[in-house]
Amino acid sequence: MRVALGVSGGVAAYKAAELVRRLQQEGIDVQVVMTKSAQEFVTPLTFAALTGQKVITDMFGDESAGANVESAIEHIAVAQRIDLLVVAPATANTIAKMARGIADDFLTTLYLATTAPVVVAPAMNVNMWEHAATQENINALRGRGVHVVSPEEGYLACGMTGAGRLAGVEAIAKAVCGRLGIEHDLENETVIVTAGPTCEDLDPVRYLTNRSSGKMGYGLAEAAARRGARVVLISGPTRLDPPQGVEFVSVRSTEQMQAALVEHLARATAIIMAAAVADYRPIAPETKKMKRGDGRVTLELESTPDILAGIARNKGERIVVGFAAETDHVAEHARAKLESKQADVIVANDVTAEGAGFDHETNVITLYSRDGGEKAFPRMPKIDAAHRILDRILELRRAGRELSATQRAR
Ligand SMILES: Cc1cc2nc3c(=O)[nH]c(=O)nc-3n(C[C@H](O)[C@H](O)[C@H](O)COP(=O)(O)O)c2cc1C
């Protein structure tokens, strides 16, 4: 999600820095646009450091419009790129210009040029806020579908008391997320996600593993955290950075993964087993590096513990989701796994399909559920596939609650 944050010239401009951070926590990419007056209160450098992006401070950039066509049409490019424009703090002046369609700086031009939803959080002296001109302008914006996050009452920077203080960062972030469709519908869940491959040592330098990149599991952890869940990500070795806001547990072998799961199981309400765990491990790993020889070598392997089946047997109210990465007879194997592992949902994918499986950014999944449900999805980014899996968990949770309510009523 991309959001442009317009900062105009009021004392509350410094609070916009906190808003940047808060939106970033939701995984939102923030492009800051400052009016000339705003730069009297906070420097663009503050926002550039927070966002890692150039802050847009004027219409024409460093060079003249004629000499730099890219910068001259930047307002159109930004207008098309963003999913939402939020102006916080919004001064009486900027609100008036927006209401009248005056476009004499980058921010007000962007407002006219974008078709994305707009959120405005006014902040000003109480008399300025209550002035008929400001109220008319605010009503005009509301009438056009602009979402206004009303200022709070309280002590104002000018020394007066009344309405005009910038709404809290949480309230503004909530309005932004609401308009972007980012919901915190998993805030009652504690989700354990397993991800990546596991490694089974042959000797101190060699091991058996598989091609799992961990992208699907990390996507699930990120998506669940964004939707408000507490997330424990138990991961085998991958090249990925753990998503922000998740508790990260690094493991190597299947046995370590099982131990970590058992340790965190008590507080989990849902478990998603996206890891590609090794099914076999050497019976007796060598303690010293195996020397090269001429003849054949036979490795004797034994089954690793069946983590999913073990968890599903003791699951209680927890919703358990397993994965079936298959190369053939996908539906058959997925349904069989649903039964044998007592899982609530099996996410099946044909790893040979185009744009699916290991190390791809996309996946093609079908969800098989214990209630008989079966839902196939087209190829989509793994983060979107993650959201579809989480949606299914929520549906099952709601269905479970309704069932309990009906049973109690009898
Ligand atoms: C110290 C100081 C604080 C100000 N605080 C506010 C404010 O909180 N809200 C507001 O609407 N205007 C405030 N103003 C007035 C605006 O800065 C002024 O109207 C300016 O033209 C706004 O420009 P802009 O809307 O392009 O950012 C303040 C001015 C000064 C000097």
What string of DSSP letters covers 155-195?
E-TTS-EEEEEPPPHHHHHHHHHHHHT---TTTT-EEEEEE
Q: What is the model's pLDDT at position 281?
A: 96
Q: Does 70 have pLDDT greater than 60?
A: no
Alpha-carbon gap, residue 289 to 50, rounded angstroms: 48
pLDDT bracket for residue 62 (50, 70, 90):
low
**How far, in Å, from the CA of 10 to the mean position of ligand 1?**
4
> What's the 184 CA to ligand 1 centre distance in angstroms?
34
Q: Does residue 292 have a pLDDT over 50?
A: yes
Q: What is the pLDDT of residue 67?
A: 47
Evaluate: CB of 9 within 6 angstroms of ligand 1: yes
**Rounded to whole angstroms, how far apart are CA atoms 107 and 98?**
9
Mutate to test the pocket of ligand 1, among 37, 120, 138 (most ligand atoms within 8 A of CB): 37
Q: Note the pLDDT tens digit of each residue in 297-310.
A: 899 999 999 888 88
Which residue's CA is the nearest one to ligand 1's atom 6?
10
User: In this model, does residue 69 exceed pLDDT 80?
Assistant: no
The predicted model gives 362-375 an average pLDDT of: 90
* Model confidence at 379: pLDDT above 80: yes
Percent of the chain whose pLDDT exceeds 90: 69
405 pLDDT higher than 80: no
Find residue 271's DSSP bridge partners.
Answer: 192, 320
The mean predicted confidence, pLDDT, of the chain is: 91
One of 1, 50, 140, 158 is an active-site residue; which one? 158
Rg (CA), the chain: 27
93 lines ligand 1 (CB under 6 A): yes
CA of 11 to the centre of ligand 1 (A): 7
May I ask the CATH architecture of the domain 2-180? Answer: 3-Layer(aba) Sandwich (3.40)
Residue 293: pLDDT band by 50, 70, 90 thresholds? confident
**E-state strands within 170-309:** 190-195, 200-201, 207-208, 230-235, 247-250, 270-273, 280-282, 301-303
pLDDT for the residue numbered 65: 44
How far apart are the CA of 29 and the centre of ligand 1, in A? 27
Is 134 touching ligand 1 by the criterion CB < 6 Å?
Answer: no
> Under a CB-based contact definition with an 8 Å cutoff, are residues 213 and 358 in contact?
yes
* 158 is annotated as an active-site residue: yes
Mean pLDDT of 182-203: 94
Residue 353 has pLDDT above 90, yes or no: no
The CATH class of 190-279+299-409 is alpha beta
Rounded CA separation 102/252 (Å): 60
Would the CB of 37 count as within 6 Å of ligand 1? yes
Ranges of CATH 3.40.50.1950 domains, the chain: 2-180
- pTM to 2 decimal places: 0.65
Helix axes 15-25, 169-180, angle to 10 degrees: 40
pLDDT at 71: 58
Residue of 36, 41, 91 to test ligand 1 pocket, by largest number of atoms within 8 Å of CB: 91
**pLDDT tens digits for range 18-41:** 999 999 988 899 999 999 999 999
Domain with CATH 3.40.50.10300 in the chain: 190-279+299-409
Smallest CA separation from ligand 1 atom 5, residue: 10
Q: Is 156 in the pocket of ligand 1 (CB under 6 A)?
A: no
